[in-house]
Amino acid sequence: MRGDEAVSAQDGARLMERGVALAKEEFSKLSWLHAIGFAICQSWTVLCFALPDPVTYADPFLDLRWVSAAATCALLVLFCFVHRRMPLRVGRNATMVAIAAAACVSSALGPASVLFPDASALLLTIAAAGLGAGFAFLPVAWLAVFWARREWAGLIASLVLAAVLTYPLANTVLAGQQGTWAIVAACSLLPLASVLMLPRSDVFDAARARAAVPEQRRGFRELDRSDRDVLIRFCLCLFFVVAIIELCRNVLLGGAQAMFFAGAGNLAGILLRCVFGVWLVVVFAQRSMRFVSAVYRASFLLVLAVVLAIPFIIEGNWTAHVVLDMGAFCFEAVMMMVLFEMVSALAIDGVLLFALTRAVWAGAVVTGIVVSGVGLGLGDTWTSFGVAVMGMACAFVFAFVFTDAHCTGVLAKSCRRMHATPFKDQCWLAAAGSGLSEREAEVMAMVAKGRSSQRVADDLGVSLSTVNSHIYHIYRKMGVHSRQEMIDRIESYAVSATTPENRSIPRA
């Protein structure tokens, strides 16, 4: 038994070492400009969505976040219906700049409404609806860019950078200092700054063509029953958990997500985000089902801990606040990575899938806001009852809706579709990785195709003993003991792009 545990520990160490190497490769090729651009977009979302009037909180204070979320959901649902006739062109173009400009104006209109008391309610409503357009399409465009460029590490880096960027801005805005109006003006320009960091549409299309990135066009109707079931389960899971997290935020902090970034205590939370972000890249880079399953389960346990910690958070325990923030961050990061893999696993149009899941997110936010508004006036007894109900809902979602088996299943299916490599290319990759000579690589490919040793000898014009000698050295160099193990080792090799300069096989 101890021997099996030692072997398992060695396998885990090798997987971790491979994951670290792959993560380094991912970080080395990511575009920091894109990571910063998406981080700016996310920071703007936190500041403007959570704090519609960050300057004065003038009475009567209108909390119109539900208007922004409802507008986001409605626009994206409409887009899902008309996307074939009116596709969203990804990149920096006139349409995206116009959406960013509308978001900028809406961002400034919210706090500026205090200057016009008689029309402040109308102006805030217009601002909230205008913000919905930015919340809807800017994240979808950025997700499409990261997907097309296969920048997994860049996606996670943007989540961490968003926290780092939001921290000083939220502290300044919430402090109510004399320069608050200047900060508000600067925050209002964030959508435009984010869009200007997008690659130009023509450059983006050319880069995607050079990278030979397949452009999936399959819609929801073209999905088979099993794929549609996985997608529905994923959306239900996203909806329930986001609604629960939003409900917790509203009950505890009045929905002001930016408060999670204020104060010295939240520096620890930002540090934890950095550590978890790096760890997540390592886990998904190596595509280990065991590790992905463990991370997925851990993210759900954090969300469940958030729910159970509600009574302590209400009492002002800031540690519990950090738990809520980390639970939300971990769940968001894991689901984003799974979402990226789902584009390959389902062979679906990426922009369409991103729009659908963003609409689900917005619908969940509206649900969380509405439910919290009802529950806040029901007293402590109903709060305790609500905690129990949400805890059971989290457990149900994890156990029956979108389980870790579905999560790892998406990853496995993604590997088969997205990273499938022609068998000939897998053979030269295995040969190069094992240090085989050219003749050994040739013998390996023939044996892997099912040819007998005698047939290989006849085809190559050598003796049977020579072929058996080659097979012996192939097995030894590859660390295998049978033909099936050799085939399994060959099939484990996959590349995103095969280039002639990488195909040199070392000579003996």
Encode pLDDT of 332-350 as tens digits: 888 888 888 888 778 788 8
Q: Looking at the DSSP assignment, which residues form a beta bridge with residue 490? A: none
Return the closest-CA partner of residue 65 out of 348, 367, 356.
367
CA atoms 265, 331, 30, 21: torsion sign: positive
Q: What is the dihedral of CA 129, 135, 140, 141, to 10 degrees?
A: 90
CA atoms 432, 434, 437, 440: torsion sign: negative
User: What proportion of the chain, given as a percentage, has pLDDT over 70?
Assistant: 69
Amino acid present at 78: L
Amino acid present at 76: L
pLDDT at residue 110, as a whole number = 73
pLDDT tops 60 at residue 256: no
CA atoms 238, 289, 427, 432: torsion sign: positive
Return the closest-CA partner of residue 370 out of 284, 278, 250.
250
pLDDT at residue 262, as a whole number = 54
Lowest mean pLDDT, pick from 44-58, 87-101, 453-467, 482-496:
44-58
Amino acid present at 344: S
**Where are any strands of DSSP class E within 174-318?**
none
Amino acid present at 97: V
Instruction: Tell me what the mean pLDDT of segment 221-236 comes to.
Output: 86
Instruction: Tell me what the mean pLDDT of segment 447-454 comes to.
Output: 85
| Average pLDDT taken over every residue of the chain | 75
Tokens of 307: 């729910």
Tokens of 462: 């050598």
Cα–Cα dist 22/132, whole Å:
38
Q: Looking at the DSSP assignment, which residues form a beta bridge with residue 92? A: 200
pLDDT at residue 297, as a whole number = 82
Cα end-to-end span (Å), the chain: 41
Q: What is the dihedral of CA 68, 74, 80, 86, to 10 degrees?
A: -80
- CA geometry: angle at 62 spanning 58 and 66, to 5°? 145
Give Cα separations from 259 to 65, 229, 413 (angstroms): 16, 37, 40
SS3 category, 92: strand
SS3 category, 151: coil
pTM for the complete prediction?
0.73
Instruction: Tell me what the mean pLDDT of segment 139-147 comes to.
Output: 89
On whether the CB atoms of residues 295 and 338 are closer than 8 A, the answer is no
- CA geometry: angle at 347 spanning 344 and 349, to 5°? 100
Amino acid present at 62: L
Tokens of 246: 């939003």
58 vs 288, higher pLDDT: 288
Cα–Cα dist 313/324, whole Å:
9
Exposed (0-12), middle (13-18) or buried (19+): which is 406, by Cβ within 10 Å?
A: middle
Residues in the chain: 508
Q: How confident is the model at residue 146 (pLDDT cuts 50, 70, 90)?
A: confident
Q: What is the dihedral of CA 32, 35, 37, 39, to 10 degrees?
A: -140
Rg (CA), the chain: 26
